[in-house]
């Protein structure tokens, strides 16, 4: 990057299954107000805005970013919207970084928001997400998010001995972590047996193995090195950035070898290279990653090089991903315990890593964090992936 990029402000709303009394512009406003307050900034300090809003069907609006932009008082300033499935937030942050690093703007704000429950019913919601599948073949065969990720999880189970009990341990961990997060949607104490007894969605995934469906908003403010001096908090730097895409049609993907999510692996390696990370287990102190399903998180330990291929289940069983472990993963509760307001998620993940580095994560604080990763992915079986390395 031509110029260093700092995160100077973060903010978010609480996350809920439904904010029945708030519109999506109102949710965005509340997160922006929090981020501006965190930075000690005013809206006039913002040069440009990148909006992370996934699905028009959710918001019942074809250009929701324009309505948010105006209601934030940003008329006559540039604003652009990104939509890339579950990676919407990650790609929005990436777009904002390029605006700052290129010298185009000094201070850029990223606003992620989603009002998922404004659809008629849960079946319409799932159908709208399924539109991401290949429309000519896979969608006609009943493609679904759980089905696309479930196939990768089954492969991992068959080859490496991961069990449904191991997947349930991820749920226990992440919902337990969410109990320390006052903004989390689903903080609860559950047991492995609770998870195993929950209804089946798609083999081997139960309802409690599934990510949440949330409403809420998150905002971060980015600045170049000179502009960062104007704001109230010590800057936290984005030192590594990687992004990669795969074929949307799973049947046409090349054999990736040991990687089950090759776009994730490619994005991680690119981010590590930019940040100078050569030994992830010792260099990465905390991670907020895309646990769309419990078994996915186990695979992601391997994709990020926190352990070797096939060792993700042992990484989990040894407690290395736990609070107090060597590499805590998803202290916020992740998508299973914390939130999954799709447009907000990737933005919120970066905000959470920033809080960890600042030492402002409260009861979910990991000790001595100076570097972490935030990662989001979307599309059929991780067709998009974006990874950031964040450092103090």
Strand pairing of 107-115 and 215-224?
A: antiparallel
Q: For residue range 164-203, what is the model confidence (pLDDT) as tens digits?
A: 999 999 999 999 999 999 999 999 999 999 999 999 999 9
Q: What is the tens place of the pLDDT at every residue in 195-214?
A: 999 999 999 999 999 999 99
Q: Is 80 exceeded by the pLDDT of residue 115?
A: yes
For the residues 375-389, what does the mean pLDDT come to?
A: 92
CA distance 169 to 347: 26
Q: Please state the rounded mean pLDDT for residues 108-115.
A: 98
Q: How many residues does the chain have?
A: 392
Q: Number of C-alpha atoms within 13 angstroms, CB side, residue 389?
A: 24
Q: What span, in angstroms and rounded, lies between the C-alpha atoms of 291 and 331? A: 12
- Between the alpha carbon of residue 220 and those of residues 79, 87, 182, 262, 354, the distances in Å are 15, 16, 19, 28, 10
pLDDT at 118 over 70: no
The answer to whether the CB of 17 falls within 8 A of the CB of 211 is: no
pLDDT above 90 (res 38): yes
The pLDDT score that the predictor gives to residue 32 is 99
DSSP 8-22: EEEEE---BS--TT-
pLDDT value at position 345?
99
Res 135: pLDDT = 72
- Looking at residue 120, its pLDDT comes to 58
pLDDT value at residue 383: 87
B/e letters for 20-31, b = 16+ CB within 10 Å, e = fewer, are eebbbbbbbbbb
Do 72 and 32 touch, CB atoms closer than 8 A? yes
Give pLDDT tens digits for 4-28.
999 999 999 999 999 999 999 999 9
- How sure is the predictor about 77, in pLDDT bands with cuts at 50, 70 and 90? very high
The pLDDT score that the predictor gives to residue 121 is 67
pLDDT at 252: 74
At 242 the pLDDT is 99
Quickly list DSSP for 291-317: -SBHHHHHHHHHHTTSS-TT-HHHHHH
Q: Is the peptide bond before 204 cis (omega within 30 degrees of 0)?
A: yes
Say what percent of the chain tops pLDDT 70.
94
State residue 56's pLDDT score: 84
CA atoms of 130 and 53, how far apart (whole Å): 17
Residue 386 has pLDDT above 70, yes or no: yes
Angle of the 294-303 helix axis to the 262-275 helix axis, nearest 10: 50
pLDDT tens digits, 256-288: 678 999 999 999 999 999 999 999 999 999 999
Quick check: 61 pLDDT over 90? no
The domains located in the chain, with CATH, are: 5-120+215-228 (3.40.47.10), 133-210+239-391 (3.40.47.10)
Lowest mean pLDDT among 98-112, 144-158, 327-341: 144-158
């Amino acid at each position: 990057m031509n110029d260093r990029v700092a995160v100077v402000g973060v903010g978010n709303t609480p996350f809920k299954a439904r904010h029945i009394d708030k519109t999506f512009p109102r949710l965005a406003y509340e997160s922006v107000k929090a981020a501006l307050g965190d930075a000690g900034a005013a809206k006039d300090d913002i040069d440009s805005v990148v909006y992370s809003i996934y699905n028009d069907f959710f918001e019942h609006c074809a250009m929701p970013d324009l309505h948010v932009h105006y209601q934030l008082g940003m008329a006559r300033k540039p604003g652009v919207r990104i939509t890339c499935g579950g990676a919407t937030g990650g790609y929005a942050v990436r777009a904002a970084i390029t605006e700052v690093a290129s010298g185009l703007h000094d201070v850029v704000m990223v606003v992620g928001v989603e009002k998922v429950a404004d659809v008629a019913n849960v079946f319409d919601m799932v159908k709208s997400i399924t539109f991401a599948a290949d429309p000519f073949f896979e969608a006609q065969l009943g493609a679904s998010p759980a089905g696309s990720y479930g196939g990768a999880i089954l492969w991992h189970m068959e080859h490496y001995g991961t069990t449904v009990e191991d997947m349930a341990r991820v749920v226990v961990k992440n919902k337990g972590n969410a109990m320390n997060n006052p903004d989390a949607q689903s903080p609860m104490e559950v047991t492995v047996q609770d998870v195993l007894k929950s209804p089946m969605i798609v083999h081997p995934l139960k309802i409690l193995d599934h990510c949440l469906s949330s409403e809420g908003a998150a905002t971060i403010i980015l600045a170049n090195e000179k502009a960062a001096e104007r704001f109230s908090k010590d800057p936290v730097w984005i030192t590594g950035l990687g992004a990669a895409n795969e074929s949307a049609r799973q049947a046409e993907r090349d054999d990736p070898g040991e990687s089950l999510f090759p776009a994730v692996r490619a994005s991680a390696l690119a981010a590590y290279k930019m940040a100078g990370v050569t030994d992830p287990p010792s260099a990465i102190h905390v991670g907020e990653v895309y646990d769309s399903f419990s078994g996915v998180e186990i695979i992601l330990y391997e994709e990020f090089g926190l352990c070797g291929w096939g060792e993700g289940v042992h990484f989990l069983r040894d407690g290395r991903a736990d609070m107090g472990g060597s590499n805590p993963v998803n202290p916020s509760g992740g998508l299973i315990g914390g939130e999954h307001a799709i447009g907000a998620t990737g933005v919120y993940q970066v905000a959470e890593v920033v809080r960890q580095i600042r030492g402002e994560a409260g009861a979910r604080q990991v000790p001595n964090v100076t570097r972490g990763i935030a990662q989001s992915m979307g599309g059929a079986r991780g067709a998009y992936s974006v990874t950031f390395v964040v450092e103090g």
